């Protein structure tokens, strides 16, 4: 990313492959990291559909994945 951009030009979005995006978030518990991993895996496993996260008392208690299969 260049600091010398022409006036009015939007900054480049951060790269998804940047090393910072691959590190674990700081300050999260092991349970919170597990929830993030499971949500990520659910999102990666479907092409069309929904991922529903159920929360009770401020904690994730259930993750539901419903995949739609589109036939053309």
- Dump pLDDT digits (tens) for 8-62: 666 555 554 444 455 667 899 999 999 999 999 999 999 999 999 999 999 999 9
22 located within any domain: no
38 located within any domain: yes
53 located within any domain: yes
16 located within any domain: no
45 located within any domain: yes
72 located within any domain: no
User: What is the span of the domain harbouring residue 46?
Assistant: 28-67
Look at the chain and report how many structural domains it folds into: 1
For residues 19-34, b (16+ Cβ closer than 10 Å) or e, as one string?
A: eeeeeeeeeeeeeeee
Nearest to 61 by CA among 41, 43, 22, 34: 34
Nearest to 43 by CA among 26, 72, 29, 63: 63
54 located within any domain: yes
């Amino acid at each position: 990313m260049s600091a010398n951009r022409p006036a009015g030009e939007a900054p480049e979005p951060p790269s998804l492959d940047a090393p910072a995006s691959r590190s674990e978030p700081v300050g999260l518990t092991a349970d919170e990291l597990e929830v993030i991993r499971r949500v990520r895996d659910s999102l990666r496993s479907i092409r069309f559909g929904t991922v529903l996260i159920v929360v009770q008392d401020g904690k994730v208690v259930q993750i539901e994945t419903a995949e739609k299969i589109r036939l053309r």
